[in-house]
Amino acid sequence: MWRGFIYSLQEGLLALWRTKLVSLLSIGTIAVSFTVLGIFLLVSVNVGVLTESYGDELVVHLFLEDGLLQDELAGLQRELENDERISSHGYVGKEEAAERFRRLFPDEEYLLEGLTENPLPESFELTLKEYLRADPTEVNTLIASLSHLPGVEAVRYDRQWVETFESAARWIGYAGFAVGGLLILAAIVTAANIIRINIYARREEIEIMRLVGAEGIYVRGPFVIGGLVQGLLASLLSIVALFLLFNIGESYLRLMKIGVMEGLNFRFLPLEYIVLFLVGGLLVGFLAGLLSFGRVGRS
């Protein structure tokens, strides 16, 4: 058995070397498929990072009507202090709101220039009690009660857009597996056809080996090993390509200075995904090797 494996490994690597161009085509096809899948997963992972980053800092924004008097503002503040569902609150004046706008959206700063009056509203930012944040029904009840307070123009809860991002991350992941899966199936067929070229080139030798009673590992082994090597090299190549694309994309986003992404720690694919890529590459190569020989064996 061990000798058969050594023979298969030597012959498999030799066959790849003899057909370098077609082998590179096979490796490239598989690598592109895994890279496309990886791009979707990278986007999904980092959308998840964005939601995690802001998930612990979710606040309710209470936008106030223009022209509130100081006693009206003080009365509203007392209402918030007496509400046991609110952990803390902070006042954001017009000037601070404008400063935040300039910091988060530097390319849109011109919208505030030339205006005689600051159009941004005053607001209160409310942090909810921990138990409340886990109960959407209670949160909706609180938001409804806050919206009826005198002097409140609108209420916005950040959790709504976070949930939208979470849903987007899930669907991006699903789309990645769907598109990547189809491409990987195509790569298996392509790799199988390329390996079959090597089988046809050695069909007389294979027939002689069968006639003298050679074990299956000596006949099929070199082609299966060749497929495994191609799959492994392709998955390694896709990981390298994804790492380069990740660094390029991260640098580009940093230069763009998008407000919500400033200070965000982007993540490459976690270790378990990389292991799955390597195992997946081996599996694709193994299936390609079996499929290619099976077709020849029936012809």
What is the pLDDT, as a whole number, of residue 240? 95
Q: What are phi and psi of 257, to 5 degrees?
A: 55, 50
Q: Are 19 and 198 in contact (CB under 8 A)?
A: yes
Residue 76's nearest CA partner among 85, 87, 57, 63 is: 63
**CB neighbourhood size of 10 (10 A):** 12
Domain extent listing, the chain? 2-54+162-298, 59-157
Question: Is residue 32 over pLDDT 70?
Answer: yes
Q: What do you get for the CA distance between the two ends of the chain, in Å?
A: 28
Q: What is the mean pLDDT of residues 34-61?
A: 75
Q: To the nearest 5 percent, what fractions of the chain are helix, strand and coil?
A: 75, 10, 15
**CB-count exposure of residue 140 (10 Å: 0-12, 13-18, 19+):** exposed
Q: Does 294 or 61 have the greater pLDDT score?
A: 61
Give the DSSP letter of residue 65: P
Q: Encode pLDDT of 77-129 as tens digits.
A: 888 888 888 888 888 888 888 888 777 777 777 667 766 777 888 888 888 77
**CB-count exposure of residue 134 (10 Å: 0-12, 13-18, 19+):** exposed
| Region of residue 257 (left: phi > 0; alpha: psi -120 to 50; beta: else) | left
Q: Does 12 or 181 have the greater pLDDT score?
A: 181
Estimate the crossing angle of helix 20-55 against helix 159-201, to 10 degrees.
170
221 Cβ contact list (under 8 Å, min separation 6) = 4, 5, 7, 8, 11, 12
Residue type at 65 in one-letter notation: E
What is the pLDDT, as a whole number, of residue 148? 85
Q: Does 295 or 78 have the greater pLDDT score?
A: 78
What is the pLDDT, as a whole number, of residue 71? 85
Residue 288's nearest CA partner among 217, 178, 206, 199 is: 199
What is the pLDDT, as a whole number, of residue 278? 92
In sequence order, the β-bridge partners of residue 20 are: none
Q: What is the mean pLDDT of residues 189-209?
A: 66
Q: Are 288 and 192 in contact (CB under 8 A)?
A: yes
Specify the range with the lowest mean pLDDT, choosing from 67-76, 88-97, 288-297.
Answer: 288-297
CATH of 59-157, one of 3.90.1640.30, 2.40.160.40, 3.30.1330.60, 3.30.70.3040: 3.30.70.3040
User: Please, what is the average pLDDT of the chain?
Assistant: 76
Q: Encode pLDDT of 136-173 as tens digits.
A: 677 778 888 888 888 888 888 766 666 676 677 778 77
Q: Encode pLDDT of 221-256 as tens digits.
A: 667 777 788 888 999 999 999 999 998 888 877 776
Question: Is residue 299 over pLDDT 50?
Answer: no
What is the pLDDT, as a whole number, of residue 93? 85
What is the pLDDT, as a whole number, of residue 135? 67
Q: Are 234 and 281 in contact (CB under 8 A)?
A: yes
Q: Are 175 and 43 in contact (CB under 8 A)?
A: no
Please tell me the pTM assigned to this model: 0.60
